[in-house]
C-alpha cells in the first residue's frame, strides 16, 4: 500500500492532506532537499521551521507546483501533483489558498479587486455585484474594516497588507492554507492578533494549515505539530514536547535557547490565563496603539508588485 492509500485508511484526524515522499530539489550543484518525506494531517496547523536557507519556501513551492523537483512525489487531497495535466492540477489548486511572504498583492489593484482576482479566474460567470459582495465578506473575515476594500496595498500598514493577502487566499473557500512567514515584520501585538486570526479561521472553517515560520511564539500559540527542516530533509515532526525529547542539536538550540525558553514561558503563562481576559487585554493594547496601524509597515517591503508572479 502506498503512503496515500495508507493515509486514507487512517482515522480522519490522521489522514494526510499533503503527502510528500522522496522529494529532492536542486539548483545546479546546490542540493536543497534530498529524499524528503512529510505528511500534513487533515485539520492541523503544521508549523515548518528550519534555519535560513534550509528550503522551507522551496518545499512549499514544490507542493503547490511552482518548483519542479528533480525527484519524488507530492500528493495533495490524495491527488498526485507532479507531472499532472494542467486542468486536473487547476482543479486541485482551487481547493487551497496561499499567502506568500509580503502578501504578493497586485499593487495596481485595490484590496477588494485583489480578492476578486482568483474568483474571476475560476468563476468568470460571476456578476460584478456578487464579486463585490464576496470580496467584502472575505475582507471582513480577516478583521479588516470595510474601508480597506477600496484602498490600494500601498495605502495599508504591513499588518493590514498581510490581512489583505489572507483575504485573497480565502477567496475560493479553501480547505488548505499555505502561509509563508505570516507574522514576519509584525510587532508582537500585531503578530499575536494574526495568530489568533489564523487559529480562529482554522477552527471555524475546518482548515488544514501549512505554516512556515521563524516565530517561536506562533509555534507555541497555534501549531498542533512542528516539522523541522535540517540536513536537506525533515528530521523530525511532532508536538513541541515531543521535539524537545529529541537529541538533535539544532532542535535543542532552537527550542531550548534563550528565545525558545522565553516563548515557552510566555505560552505557559497564557495557558493559565483566562482566554477572554487575555483577548480583552490584547484588544485594549491594540486600540491604544492605534489598531493595525501600529504594525510595522516598513518591515513588509513595498514589494507589492504590479505583477503577482507567484500565482
Ligand atoms: N529560484 C531559485 N534559484 C536558485 N536558488 C534558489 C532558488 N530558490 C531558492 N534557492 C535557494 O534554495 C535555498 C533554500 O531557499 P528557501 O527560500 O527555500 O529557504 P528558506 O528555508 O525558506 O529560508 P528563509 O528562512 O531565509 O526564508 C537557498 O539557498 C536559496 O538560495
10-residue mean pLDDT series, the chain (311 residues): 48 81 96 97 96 94 93 94 84 92 87 95 92 94 92 91 93 95 86 91 94 92 95 95 90 80 71 63 46 33 33 36
For the chain, where are the alpha helices, taking DSSP H only? 3-8, 56-63, 86-93, 111-122, 128-141, 158-169, 188-205, 216-222, 240-244, 249-256, 258-272, 275-288
Q: How far apart are CA 49 and CA 296, in angstroms?
A: 23
**Burial label, 1 (beta-carbon count in 10 A; 0-12, 13-18, 19+):** exposed
- For residue 295, report the distance from its CA to the centre of ligand 1, in Å: 27
pLDDT of residue 286: 46
Q: What is the pTM of this model?
A: 0.84
Q: Note whether 88 and 79 are within 8 A (CB).
A: yes
pLDDT of residue 63: 95
pLDDT of residue 104: 83
Bridge partners (DSSP) listed for residue 263: none
pLDDT of residue 310: 40
pLDDT of residue 14: 72
> What atom in ligand 1 is closest to the CA of residue 229?
21
Distance of CA 188 to the CA centre of its chain: 18
Does residue 56's CB lie within 6 angstroms of at least one atom of ligand 1? yes
Question: Which residue among 49, 55, 232 is best mutated to probe the pocket of ligand 1, counting the most ligand atoms within 8 A of its Cβ?
Answer: 55
pLDDT of residue 167: 94
The owner of cell 498581510 is 162
Does residue 168's CB lie within 6 angstroms of at least one atom of ligand 1? no
pLDDT of residue 83: 82
Does residue 27's CB lie within 6 angstroms of at least one atom of ligand 1? yes
The pLDDT tens digits for 198-217 are 999 999 999 999 999 999 98
The pLDDT tens digits for 61-111 are 999 999 999 999 999 999 898 888 888 888 899 999 999 887 789 999 999
- For residue 208, report the distance from its CA to the centre of ligand 1, in Å: 24
Pairing of strands 30-41, 79-80: unpaired
Q: How far apart are CA 219 and CA 252, in angstroms?
A: 15
Q: Which positions ≥6 away from 27 have C-beta within 8 Å?
A: none
**Cell numbers for 82:** 507532479
Nearest CA to ligand 1 atom 4: 27
φ, ψ for residue 147, nearest 5 deg: -65, -15
Does residue 50's CB lie within 6 angstroms of at least one atom of ligand 1? yes
Does residue 54's CB lie within 6 angstroms of at least one atom of ligand 1? yes
- For residue 80, report the distance from its CA to the centre of ligand 1, in Å: 24
Does residue 61's CB lie within 6 angstroms of at least one atom of ligand 1? no
CA dihedral 57, 65, 25, 4 (to 10 degrees): 100
pLDDT of residue 138: 94
Question: Which residue among 25, 49, 57 is best mutated to probe the pocket of ligand 1, counting the most ligand atoms within 8 A of its Cβ?
Answer: 57
DSSP percent split of the chain into helix, strand, coil, nearest 5: 45, 20, 35
pLDDT of residue 188: 83
CA dihedral 215, 216, 222, 227 (to 10 degrees): 90
Q: How far apart are CA 206 and CA 201, in angstroms?
A: 8
Residue 119: count other Cβ atoms within 10 Å of its Cβ: 18
φ, ψ for residue 308, nearest 5 deg: -85, 90
pLDDT of residue 206: 92
Pairing of strands 208-212, 225-230: unpaired
Question: Which residue among 29, 48, 49, 53 is best mutated to probe the pocket of ligand 1, counting the most ligand atoms within 8 A of its Cβ?
Answer: 53
ipTM score over 0.90, yes or no: yes
| Nearest partner of 31 among 49, 61, 58, 60, judged by Cα | 58
> What atom in ligand 1 is closest to the CA of residue 67?
1
pLDDT of residue 76: 95
The interaxial angle of helices 275-288 and 188-205, nearest 10 deg, is: 130
Amino acid at each position: 500500500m502506498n503512503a496515500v492509500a495508507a493515509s486514507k485508511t487512517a482515522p480522519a484526524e490522521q489522514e494526510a492532506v499533503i503527502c510528500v515522499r522522496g522529494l529532492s530539489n536542486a539548483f545546479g550543484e546546490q542540493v536543497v532537499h534530498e529524499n524528503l518525506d512529510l505528511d500534513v494531517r487533515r485539520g492541523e496547523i503544521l508549523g515548518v521551521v528550519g534555519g535560513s536557507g534550509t528550503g522551507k519556501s522551496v518545499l512549499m513551492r514544490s507542493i503547490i507546483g511552482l518548483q519542479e523537483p528533480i525527484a519524488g512525489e507530492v500528493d495533495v487531497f490524495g491527488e498526485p501533483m507532479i507531472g499532472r495535466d494542467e486542468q486536473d492540477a487547476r482543479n486541485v489548486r482551487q481547493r487551497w489558498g496561499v499567502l506568500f511572504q509580503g502578501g504578493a498583492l497586485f499593487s495596481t489593484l485595490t484590496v477588494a479587486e485583489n480578492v476578486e482576482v482568483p474568483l474571476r479566474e475560476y468563476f468568470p460567470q460571476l456578476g460584478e455585484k456578487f464579486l463585490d459582495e464576496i470580496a467584502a465578506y472575505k475582507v471582513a473575515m480577516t478583521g479588516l474594516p470595510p474601508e480597506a476594500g477600496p484602498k490600494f496595498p500601498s495605502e495599508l500598514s504591513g499588518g493590514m497588507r498581510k490581512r489583505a493577502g489572507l483575504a485573497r487566499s480565502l477567496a475560493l473557500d479553501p480547505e488548505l492554507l499555505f502561509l509563508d512567514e505570516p507574522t514576519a515584520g509584525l510587532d508582537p501585538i500585531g503578530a499575536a492578533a494574526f495568530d489568533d486570526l489564523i487559529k480562529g479561521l482554522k477552527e471555524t472553517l475546518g482548515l488544514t494549515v501549512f505554516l512556515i515560520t521563524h516565530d517561536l511564539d506562533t509555534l507555541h500559540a497555534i501549531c498542533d505539530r512542528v516539522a523541522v527542516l535540517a540536513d536537506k530533509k525533515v528530521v523530525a515532526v511532532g508536538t513541541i514536547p515531543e521535539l524537545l525529547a529529541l537529541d538533535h542539536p539544532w532542535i535543542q538550540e532552537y527550542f531550548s535557547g534563550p528565545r525558545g525558553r522565553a516563548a515557552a514561558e510566555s505560552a505557559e503563562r497564557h495557558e493559565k490565563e483566562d482566554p477572554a481576559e487575555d483577548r480583552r487585554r490584547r484588544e485594549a493594547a491594540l486600540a491604544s496603539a492605534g489598531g493595525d496601524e501600529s504594525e510595522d509597515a516598513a518591515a513588509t517591503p513595498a514589494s507589492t508588485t504590479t505583477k503577482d508572479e507567484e500565482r
